[in-house]
Structure 1
Amino acid sequence: MSPQNSKSGDPARSLALLWRTQEPASRRRGKPGLSVDRIVVAATELADAEGLDALSMRRVAEALDVGTMSLYTYVPGKGELIDLMVDAAYADLDTGDRSGTWRERLHRIAHANRDLYIRHPWMLQTVTTRLLGPNLIAKYDHELSAVDGLGLSDVEMDSTVSLVNGYVESTARQTVNSEWLTRDSGMDDQQWWRTADPLLAALADESQHPTAARVGVSVGTTHRALYAADHEFAFGLERVLDGVQVLVDARSGTDEVGMRGGRAGGDGAVT
């Protein structure tokens, strides 16, 4: 999946819209009831259903039953519209719950971000915005608060949040790609496995690649799939948080893993 928003919106115009510091040049030309928020909602629904390739000012105007030129009274172009859509999507995140240990907080943050990407897979097609809209700043502040007060420097706090978010984005991309493959092929992983397993058994020479054969059979038997998205995400997240734990312990002078933030149990749960 490659980025589709290669041309970002004009920074000054996007920021004015994100922070609502500038009213549209003339509302008189717009249809009564039309607003920036309504345009963003319609555009998001279109992108959710069909992806960014299908997004255009014309398609959004059709969804709102207005003329295309009416939209330009409110939003200058597609680049600025996507900037607005991304920040609006971040408003879905709960930035109020700051309870629990740092590990539990990062755990919730990671899952919330993954769920957001799965609800709005088009976000994975956008170039990471440089624009700090109100919802992005609220998200960033919430995520930093999860590791505040642990003895990390400000730069280490930022890098820790970036590490977790980068992991989430990468695995969400794999999950979304797997879902698209299932949709396009009309065959889910279990159906594919039932079809391919006997063929592979007949074709592959296990003696040539014994480790791959053993592990592949074990994974296939366990998950009945080539890629078990939920398992892989949970397993990798705990390993990422284990790495953060090492840093936290080093900064606090603690040798006992888990004293400050909880230990990951053998099943991947936080205890």
Structure 2
Amino acid sequence: MTVWDRPEPPTRPAPLDRERIVAAAVALADEGGLEAVSLRKVAARLDVGPMRLYGYISTKEELFDLMVDEVYAEILPEEQPGDWREVLRVLAHRTRQACLRHEWLADLLGGRPALGPNALAVTEATLAVFDGLTDLDTVMRAVETVNAYFTGAIRREIANLRAERASGLSEREWQHASGPHVRRLLATGRFPALARFVHDGNEVDAEVSFATGLDWVLDAVAARLARPAGVTFRISG
């Protein structure tokens, strides 16, 4: 039985419910990451004894499930966008924005499917827009491909933000500090492709990079959806 199937205990003298518990846990995670969340710390935030929480939540993993589903409510758009491409684009960007507000969410993306009501609503919105376009296997591969892209891109961006805070250096400051080392390596001539990238490549910010990569992935999905069923490509020779 999941935490969503298990009823909450009757109201007791000090007001307490899963909504308050989850809100306190999310606040703790926003302040200090997942390592700052425990049933004991949540109970202290709510000024109740830790044992009170066990009537509502059995394990920390259940608490994480509830926290994830709480944030999925921020990801689901109020109005469904038009076509499948716009739906996937909007959901990817809204997931990124949610992770920038709640960095700990990036640590929980990409595992087993989230089963809370808000997460399932996001999944329904994603799958429903493909109805009648192609077969179910193709839909699943398309959605998995897009999800894999934005999950990886978001995790990388969050990792960079954490590295900045840990080092006290912005990305540009880190590049400046690392410059002499990189220039010495490039001067050896051992890394010509990297040298061209460093000297001639254009630097873009994280949001532009995310949007560009997402469009490329969506282009690839669109090309696959446009291919007639059963068509395969052969290399002659």
Question: Structure 1 length normalisation: TM-score?
Answer: 0.76
Structure with more contact order per residue of length (Cα contacts < 8 Å, sep ≥ 6): 1
Which residue number in structure 2 is paired with residue 27 of structure 1?
11
Runs of 4+ in 1 over 3 A off after TM superposition: none
Give the corresponding residue for 2:3: 14
1:237 matched residue in structure 2? 214
Counterpart in the other structure of 1:111:
93
SS in 1 for 2:227: helix
The answer on whether the counterparts of 1:27 and 1:73 sit within 8 Å (CA) in structure 2 is: no
The counterpart of 1:172, out of the listed 154, 162, 179, is 154
Structure-to-structure mapping, 1:182-193, within 5 angstroms: 182-193=164-175
User: Considering only aligned residues, what root-mean-square deviation do their CA atoms show, in Å?
Assistant: 2.3
Shift of 1:198: 4.1
**Is residue 2:136 matched to residue 1:154?**
yes
| The 10-residue stretch of structure 1 (88-97 or 127-136) with the greater mean CA deviation from structure 2 | 127-136
CA–CA distance in structure 1, aligned partners of residues 172 and 182 of structure 2: 15
Structure 1 stretches lacking a partner, 5+ long:
1-11, 254-271
Tell me the CA shift for residue 209 of structure 1.
Answer: 2.1
* Aligned match of 2:234: none
Q: Is the 8 A contact 2:107 2:155 kept in 1?
A: no
Q: Is the 8 A contact 2:164 2:170 kept in 1?
A: yes
Task: Write the distance in 1 (CA, Å) between the matches of 2:97 and 2:145.
Answer: 17
Residue pair 1:93, 1:139 contacting (<8 A) in 2 also: yes
1:89 and 1:132 map into 2 onto residues whose CA distance is: 13
Q: Deviations over 1:250-270 (max 9, x none)?
A: 1489xxxxxxxxxxxxxxxxx
SS in 2 for 1:49: helix
Counterpart Cα distance in 1 of 2:50 and 2:42: 8
Q: Which runs of 5+ in 2 are unaligned?
A: 231-237
Q: Find the aligned partners of 2:219 and 2:26 in 1 and give their Cα distance.
A: 36
CA distance in 2, matches of 1:38, 1:158: 36
Report 1:1-271 matches (<5 A): 12-17=1-6, 22-24=7-9, 26-28=10-12, 31-126=13-108, 128-130=111-113, 132-150=115-133, 152-205=134-187, 207-219=189-201, 222-223=202-203, 228-251=205-228
Letter of the 1:209 counterpart: F
SS class of match (1:121): coil
Percent of aligned pairs sharing the same letter? 35
* Pairs aligned (count): 229
Contact 1:95 1:138 in 2 (8 A): no
How far off its partner does 1:142 sit? 0.5
- Following superposition, the deviation at residue 129 of structure 1 comes to 3.8
Measured after TM superposition, the shift of residue 16 of structure 1 is 1.4
- How far is the alpha carbon of 1:199 from its aligned partner? 4.4
User: Cα offset for 1:76?
Assistant: 1.7
Could you tell which deviates more after superposition, 200-209 or 70-79? 200-209
